[in-house]
Amino acid sequence: MKRLSHIALACVIACAIVVGGSNAWVIGSTKSSILTHEEAIARVQSENAADAIVVLGAGLRADATPSSILRDRLDDGIALYFAGLAPKLIMSGDNATVSHNEVAAMKAYAIEKGVPSEDIFCDHAGFSTYDSMYRAQNIFGASSIVVATQSYHLPRALAVAQTLGMEAVGVPSDYENYGAQLWYDVREIPARTKDLFKAIMRTPSTVGGEMISLNQSGNVTN
């Protein structure tokens, strides 16, 4: 029993080191890639625009409209689009069933805000942050992206994108306080470790598919 307890303790310590170390690397390595709106605009004025702005899904209300956290991400991505950071938007979310079409709601919201329908691509299989980043590169062919999500979430999304080989920056969409923020923060700790190792191993996304060129109308993905 004593030997087993020592082994168990060693395993706990090893896991803590892996989780702590990977979290520290994810946060530290992406710090310079998280920009304010002003910094992002200045960057695009001195460099080429990115291939696309990726807006990450975050759930729908009971009436099938974007949740408050998703609405903030959409407002962020739409503002970046009109600022010229990229010519296309990729709405990446969950459309696992006919009755739950997150990306259709995201696209409808952006169109209401004045974004042309043809500039909005729908990634119906963005079931996770990792899936969204992997598919942006391997399905939509993006080599450079701007990510629109909250600051607690950006390090993981950017670390995955950059580990996969994309150029990626992010602009936080922290427009309000969220009641479940503590839960979001805690959930990110194991998620950063999991997604980092998936990116290192280049694990395929949950759903594959044929390449979709961004050099066409986004309506082909409706």
Whether the per-residue pLDDT at 173 is higher than 70: the answer is yes
pTM, two decimals, is 0.92
DSSP one-letter string for 53-106? EEEEP--B-TTSSBPHHHHHHHHHHHHHHHTTS-S-EEEE-B-SBTTB-HHHHH
CATH H superfamily, domain 2-221: HUPs (3.40.50.620)
pLDDT of amino acid 54: 98
Q: At what angle do helices 102-112 and 68-82 cross, to 10 degrees?
A: 50
DSSP one-letter string for 113-177? TT--GGGEEEETB--SHHHHHHHHHHTS--SEEEEEE-TTTHHHHHHHHHHHT-EEEEEE---S-
3-state SS assignment for residue 204: coil
pLDDT of amino acid 102: 95
Whether the per-residue pLDDT at 64 is higher than 90: the answer is no
Could you give the percent of the chain with pLDDT greater than 70? 99
Question: Can you tell me the mean pLDDT for 42-58?
Answer: 89
Give the residue, 180 or 80, on which the prediction is more confident: 80
pLDDT of amino acid 122: 97
Question: Can you tell me the mean pLDDT for 87-113?
Answer: 93
Question: Can you tell me the mean pLDDT for 47-66?
Answer: 91
| DSSP 8-state symbol, 52 | E
Across the chain, what does the average pLDDT equal?
93
Whether the per-residue pLDDT at 194 is higher than 90: the answer is yes
Question: Can you tell me the mean pLDDT for 81-88?
Answer: 96
pLDDT of amino acid 16: 84
Spatial CB neighbours of 58, under 8 Å, sequence gap ≥ 6:
66, 67, 69, 70, 73, 93, 149
Give the residue, 72 or 18, on which the prediction is more confident: 72
Q: Domain residue spans in the chain?
A: 2-221
Please state which of the ranges 22-31, 128-137, 175-184 shows the lowest mean pLDDT.
175-184
Whether the per-residue pLDDT at 5 is higher than 90: the answer is no
pLDDT of amino acid 6: 64
